[in-house]
Amino acid sequence: MGENITQKIIKSHLVSGEMIAGQEISIKIDQTLTQDSTGTMAYLQFEAMKIPRVKTKKSVAYIDHNTLQQGFENADDHKYIQTVAAKHGIYFSRPGNGICHQVHLERFGRPGWTLLGSDSHTPTGGGIGMLAIGAGGLDVAVAMAGGPYNLSMPKVCRVTLKGSLRPWVSAKDIILKVLQLLSVKGGVGKVIEYAGPGVLSLTVPERATITNMGAELGATTSIFPSDQQTREFLKAQGREDDWIPLVADEDAVYDEEIELDLSTIEPMIARPHSPDNVVSVVEEEGTKVDQVAIGSCTNSSYLDLMKVAKILKGKTVHKDVSLVIAPGSKQVYTMLAQNGALADLIDAGARILESACGPCIGMGQAPATDAVSLRTFNRNFYGRSGTSSAQVYLVSPEVAAVSALTGMVTDPRGFGKAPELDMPKSFLVNDNSIIPPADDGSEIEVVRGPNIKPFPLSSELADRVEGLVLLKMEDNITTDHIMPSNAKLLPFRSNIPHLSNYCLTPVDETFPARAKENKGGFLVAGHNYGQGSSREHAALVPLYLGIKGVIAKSFARIHKSNLINSGIMPLVFEREEDYDLIDVNDRLELVDAISQVKAGGLITIRNITKDIDIRLRLELSTREREMILAGGLLNLTKKTRS
């Protein structure tokens, strides 16, 4: 029996376990990446392990999130990351060098290698044939220390692409179509592997758009073959020696299969407030637009922005539209400047932002009250833009550019000849904004500003766990709900006590005060709790507030792992209808907790207020049960080393 691409990479990196879907495995990690929003905490955790130098083949620290410097906090964190990177063998990508996923694809990604990143969009690397997985910062810290990454062996879903895209239809429309078909929960526990003759027509940047936004499916990752397109991209980056061929065997077996005819896909749009609320652009045509934002790790490549420049050249942005554009990397920015495309963008009336995440994470460019904002980003969660009343739509660069000119959502197929571009034979390579680590870090002093506070640690599991239900929530609660991420709060990512004042406030503004008053308790939620970002602050801050367990109908993969890493129990209703048996302010009690967790499987928790027992599933591996008993991954690591 042949092997698919996912199985080939996992097999060559397997440390323990069997490659049987659903069983826990551990794999060796070749590369790691962090960004500054999650990186400070990851490096604090790495330092706690007392490892003098990273043990990966390459680790890179990027500065791309917290680039607005309204106070000392962001600059202090950047100095901390730069010095800790120099000391411990980590490459440092300076502010302005670009978004981590775009730069990593350009300069470091390698087919057949594994990449673990403290950002949920790390699967972007799958566009170059990497097994690239997003995780919490602590998992990345463990990988930097030489430890394996543990995960459930995913199922592999093959998406067979046939035909080719018609003019004005792009890679963004492909992934929006996949989201329409599968939903934000459809990829949970799976790797989405692309195959078929249609793959050959897609460049690496186009593939990266698809794998990047595959994170919104809830998938472990997405991956494309490493073929001639991959080789040409790496050659143009001056890295042809990094290329290897990597394709699935002809008789490879998959757990699921989907077929898409690219010639039938239309320009698509995701309506507020979910990336899977997808329809054809035609269904929204004519909707007045107030803001257009082009960029993010999804759509800020050289090819994307050259298409935008060609559309805008010689024209003027509609008088009622604010158009902002953020090139994904210094490489992209400089090439646009050299060939005149940047002047075309500016001349049309676009506002050019620095090469960073910017408005995608709510770091500036918040829309006006009740505004409609078209964005080429990957998420349109409620309030993520910084304006809770804004209506945020997700579209391709082509739809965004044309709509910026017309002032309304516009199907670009009626706009004339579509821009055509070829992959450059060579990209501009200048790595002077990537600082290598010191050869000997022993003399490097790590600089810590006053905003950097110790991270919270849980204690060993008590045999009796009791507390009030502090919140009861619906389906699809995101990490943006749990730990808001905006320009006001991002500078405090290394200050958990400060962040605790804002935890879950988009759901209930009184939550932080009630959690502190009651010394913690339980959270109850519907399906897909914790979807979205990999930010482990969505677990660390509830830990700081004393949350003992989260009871939900189901969990998003990364957030569930972050809860376990923090020593918080992720409990799943055995019967979904039992969700109705718990209300806010009910007092819950878990007795014989240690023996129940050790036994695994079903857990009985008592609702003292209603005088009923509720059966819950604690779906953990043996290793994860040990983590819950020890009070989290760091406690377990210290315990096993002592």
Domain boundaries, the chain: 5-262, 279-412, 464-641
Q: State the alpha helices, DSSP H only, in 89-193.
A: 100-107, 137-144, 171-182
d(CA 496, CA 489): 11
Asked, colleague to colleague, whether 5-262 and 279-412 share their fold, the answer is: yes
Q: Is 119 considered catalytic here?
A: yes
Looking at this protein, which amino acid is placed at residue 360? C
Among 642, 634, 635, CA closest to 145: 634
Tokens 């990966």 -> residue: 56
Q: State the alpha helices, DSSP H only, in 427-576.
A: 479-482, 496-499, 511-517, 537-544, 557-565
Q: Is 442 considered catalytic here?
A: no
What is the maximum span of the chain, computed from C-alpha positions, in angstroms? Answer: 72
- How confident is the model over 337-381, as pLDDT tens digits? 999 999 999 999 999 999 999 888 888 888 999 999 999 999 998
Dihedral sign for Cα atoms in the order 379, 382, 384, 385? positive
CATH for the stretch 464-641: 3.20.19.10
d(CA 312, CA 333): 17
DSSP 8-state symbol, 117:
E
Residue 191 has pLDDT above 70, yes or no: yes
Higher pLDDT, 66 or 181: 181
- C-beta neighbour count of 453 within 10 angstroms: 15
- C-beta neighbour count of 370 within 10 angstroms: 10
- Catalytic option among 119, 290, 480, 586: 119
Q: What is the mean pLDDT of residues 232-251?
A: 97
Q: What is the mean pLDDT of residues 556-572?
A: 94
- Give CA separation, 137 vs 41, 43, 64, 89, 482, in Å: 7, 8, 16, 17, 17
Q: Which tokens sit at 16?
A: 């323990």
Looking at this protein, which amino acid is placed at residue 215? A
pLDDT given for residue 74 in this prediction: 87
Of all residues in the chain, what percent carry a pLDDT higher than 90? Answer: 85
Of all residues in the chain, what percent carry a pLDDT higher than 70? Answer: 100
- Catalytic option among 120, 458, 533, 534: 533
Among 113, 46, 85, CA closest to 434: 85
Q: Are β-strands 521-525 and 464-472 bridged in parallel, bridged antiparallel, or unpaired?
A: parallel
Among 224, 113, 120, CA closest to 171: 224
d(CA 639, CA 20): 30
Q: Are β-strands 24-27 and 31-35 bridged in parallel, bridged antiparallel, or unpaired?
A: unpaired
d(CA 365, CA 358): 8
Residue 577 has pLDDT above 90, yes or no: yes
Could you give the angle at the alpha carbon of 593 between the alpha carbons of 590 and 596, nearest 5°? 110
- How confident is the model over 313-343, as pLDDT tens digits? 999 999 999 999 999 999 999 999 999 999 9
Tokens 């392990």 -> residue: 49
Under the phi-then-psi rule, with left for phi > 0, alpha for psi from -120 to 50, and beta for the rest, what region is 611? left
Residue 486 has pLDDT above 80, yes or no: no
- How confident is the model over 523-557, as pLDDT tens digits? 999 999 999 877 889 999 999 999 999 999 999 98
d(CA 557, CA 634): 20
pLDDT given for residue 375 in this prediction: 97
- C-beta neighbour count of 398 within 10 angstroms: 29
d(CA 598, CA 621): 11
Q: Is 533 considered catalytic here?
A: yes
- Catalytic option among 384, 535, 557, 559: 535
Say if CB 218 and CB 557 are below 8 A apart. Answer: yes
Residue 92 has pLDDT above 90, yes or no: yes
241: which residues sit within 8 A by CB, 6+ positions away? none
d(CA 34, CA 42): 8
Q: Is 379 considered catalytic here?
A: yes
Residue 642 has pLDDT above 70, yes or no: no
Q: Is 241 considered catalytic here?
A: no
- Catalytic option among 64, 173, 276, 290: 64
The pLDDT confidence band at residue 638, using thresholds 50, 70 and 90, is confident
The pLDDT confidence band at residue 637, using thresholds 50, 70 and 90, is confident
DSSP 8-state symbol, 426:
S
DSSP string, 20-36: -TTSEEEE--SEEEEEH
Say if CB 585 and CB 469 are below 8 A apart. Answer: yes
Q: What is the mean pLDDT of residues 427-452?
A: 94
- Give CA separation, 12 vs 21, 27, 143, in Å: 17, 9, 17
d(CA 317, CA 300): 19
Reduced to 3 states (helix: H, G, I; strand: E, B; else coil), residue 525 is strand
Among 258, 260, 266, 101, CA closest to 170: 266
Among 628, 482, 631, CA closest to 556: 482
Topology given in CATH for the domain delimited by 5-262: Aconitase; domain 3 (3.30.499)
pLDDT given for residue 641 in this prediction: 61
Among 499, 464, 495, 481, CA closest to 559: 481
Q: State the alpha helices, DSSP H only, in 94-170.
A: 100-107, 137-144
Q: How far from chain centre, in Å, is Cα 240?
A: 28
The pLDDT confidence band at residue 457, using thresholds 50, 70 and 90, is confident
- Give CA separation, 521 vs 343, 544, 552, 574, 581, in Å: 56, 11, 14, 21, 17
- Catalytic option among 379, 384, 413, 537: 379
Residue 518 has pLDDT above 90, yes or no: yes
Looking at this protein, which amino acid is placed at residue 79? K
79: which residues sit within 8 A by CB, 6+ positions away? 447, 449
Topology given in CATH for the domain delimited by 279-412: Aconitase; domain 3 (3.30.499)
Round the average pLDDT of the chain to a whole number and report it. Answer: 95
Q: Is 65 considered catalytic here?
A: yes
- Catalytic option among 13, 65, 101, 207: 65
